[in-house]
Amino acid sequence: MRKHHDKNLKAKIAIEAIKNEKTIQELAAQYDVHPNQIAEWKKLLLEGASDLFERPNKKSEKERDAEQKVDQLLKTVGQLTIDNDFLKKKYRQLYGKEPF
């Protein structure tokens, strides 16, 4: 059966592993967790630590690109709508009836 560890416990163990006061083997024995799992938590903590110092409202490059694409598409749709309305109006003026 799998053990589910609390996120606070994971963070505590990962921080202890980073401190290097005890080996991963010693921490594994102390907390009854597999050494590979501790190494994985340590790796995740080190990789994700830089995200802690990023502004919470800062948008990622991917989000900015998606917003620009949406804005461009909305602009194109708006222009096509204006063109379509203009052409319908001209059709009515030339032929005296609604198109199609």
**Mean pLDDT on 10-15:** 94
Q: Whole-angstrom Cα distance, residue 100 to residue 86?
A: 15
Q: What is the CATH number of the domain that holds 25?
A: 1.10.10
**Same domain for 15 and 46?**
yes
**Same domain for 42 and 67?**
no
**Mean pLDDT on 40-56:** 87
The pLDDT value given to residue 90: 94
**Same domain for 88 and 52?**
no
pLDDT digit string, tens, across residues 2-11: 788 899 999 9
> Residue 3 sits in which domain range?
1-56
For residue 37, the Cα-to-chain-centroid distance in whole angstroms is: 25
Query: For residue 99, how many other CB atoms are within 10 A of its CB?
Result: 10
- For the chain, the domain total comes to 2
Query: For residue 17, how many other CB atoms are within 10 A of its CB?
Result: 23
**Residue 46 pLDDT > 80:** yes
Q: Whole-angstrom Cα distance, residue 16 to residue 54?
A: 24
The pLDDT value given to residue 60: 79
**Residue 59 pLDDT > 80:** no
**Same domain for 40 and 63?**
no
**Residue 100 pLDDT > 90:** no
